[in-house]
């Protein structure tokens, strides 16, 4: 008697996807994977401007979750795409992205959803949760950042003391001095009329990003992106960081009390040089429902233990 092969893994393909018109001439790509009747969760990608990753659903048991992924404005499969130098970013701010998440939730008919994301993704999901706590069931964050200006200054200046050679090249590429506005300089360079100037600025920015995570043993993840993705990410990163993500300094940690007893799992690597664990510790102190787990051997990109803790949290919250 023949035996039918087992069904493919739930994460193999999205079972639903589309483009959502969010106004301002913007359309954001979204997809849903897992169990259509499962617990709703949304993955908020990092960057800003990196686009969603098909690996993100690894954090979930897809038999129990309905997992939403989406590309934030002007990146990934969303349109118009920031790789085109003629595309304006004026309608791409933190407020716009928070509103987009609400439109997407409503479009998909979701009442409350679990929020998951790290790095820039944690900044955006915290901004969303503090404005719409009634729409959030739980939060799971690996690699906590809040995009304070002090955190931006550390990432593009302070951590240079650990990588002086790479930072010197980064400063040189900016065309300004070590005490200058490095992020602002790159924001101007990636908008230059000369495509060669733009390309050089993108390469120099990504080389610095890769230098910061170089000790984590995962190669050069930023430079390995497709060229269109590289350009979009650097344009969006420099746009956001040169404006402090349009957030009042320290507001996300100050206002974490708004989350109250909302359950949160924070997982952060002790060896995260680009985003030191102090930010995660401050957030946990101000959010009564949060629990912080520090992974002694992990950096910003995480690893097996980070994924294990994240998956344990989503499994617990699925119940």
pLDDT, tens digit, 9 for 90 and up, residues 189-231 = 999 999 999 999 999 999 999 999 999 988 888 888 888 999 9
Nearest to 197 by CA among 205, 157, 286: 205
- Predicted local confidence at residue 246, as pLDDT: 98
The three-point CA angle 87-90-92 to 5° equals 90
pLDDT, tens digit, 9 for 90 and up, residues 66-120 = 999 999 999 999 999 999 999 999 999 999 999 999 999 999 999 999 999 999 9
Judging by beta carbons within 10 Å of its beta carbon (0-12, 13-18, 19+), is residue 175 exposed, middle or buried? middle
CB burial string 139-160: b at 16+ within 10 A, e below: bbbbbbbbbbeebbebbbbbbb
Which sign, positive or negative, has the C-alpha torsion 259, 264, 270, 271? Answer: negative
More confident residue, 249 or 12: 249
Rounded Cα–Cα distance for residues 12 and 33 (Å): 8
| Beta strand segments in 74-219, E | 113-116, 136-142
**CB-side exposure of 186: number of CA atoms within 13 Å?**
31
Question: 2 pLDDT exceeds 90?
Answer: no
Mean pLDDT within 260-282: 97
**CB-side exposure of 235: number of CA atoms within 13 Å?**
25
Mean of the per-residue pLDDT values for the chain? 94
Point out the residues that are catalytic.
119, 272, 300
| Beta strand segments in 44-175, E | 65-70, 113-116, 136-142
């Amino acid at each position: 008697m023949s035996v039918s092969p087992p069904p493919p893994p739930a994460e193999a393909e999205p079972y639903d996807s589309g483009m959502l018109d969010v106004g301002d001439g913007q359309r954001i790509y979204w997809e849903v994977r897992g169990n259509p009747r499962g617990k709703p969760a949304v993955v908020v990608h990092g960057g800003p401007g990196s686009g969603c990753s098909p690996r993100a659903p690894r954090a979930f048991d897809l038999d129990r979750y309905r997992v939403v992924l989406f590309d934030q404005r002007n990146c990934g499969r969303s349109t118009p795409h920031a790789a085109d130098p003629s595309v304006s970013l004026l309608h791409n701010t933190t407020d716009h992205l928070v509103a987009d998440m609400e439109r997407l939730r409503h479009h998909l008919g979701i009442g409350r959803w679990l929020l998951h994301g790290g790095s820039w993704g944690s900044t955006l999901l915290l901004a969303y949760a503090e404005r719409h706590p009634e729409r959030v069931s739980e939060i799971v964050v690996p690699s906590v950042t809040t995009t304070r200006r002090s955190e931006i200054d550390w990432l593009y200046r302070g951590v240079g003391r650990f990588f002086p050679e790479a930072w010197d090249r980064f400063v040189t590429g900016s065309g300004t001095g070590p005490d200058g506005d490095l992020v602002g300089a790159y924001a101007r360079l990636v908008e230059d009329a000369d495509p060669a100037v733009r390309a050089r600025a993108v390469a120099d920015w990504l080389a610095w990003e890769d230098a910061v995570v170089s000790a984590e043993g995962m190669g050069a993840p930023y430079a390995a992106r497709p060229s269109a993705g590289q350009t979009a990410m650097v344009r969006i990163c420099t746009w956001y960081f040169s404006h402090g993500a349009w957030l009042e300094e320290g507001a996300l940690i100050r206002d974490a009390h708004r989350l109250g007893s909302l359950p949160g799992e924070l997982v952060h690597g002790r060896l995260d040089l680009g985003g030191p664990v102090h930010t995660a510790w401050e957030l946990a102190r101000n959010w009564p429902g949060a629990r912080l787990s520090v992974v002694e051997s992990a950096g910003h990109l995480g690893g097996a233990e980070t994924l294990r803790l994240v998956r344990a949290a989503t499994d617990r919250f699925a119940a």
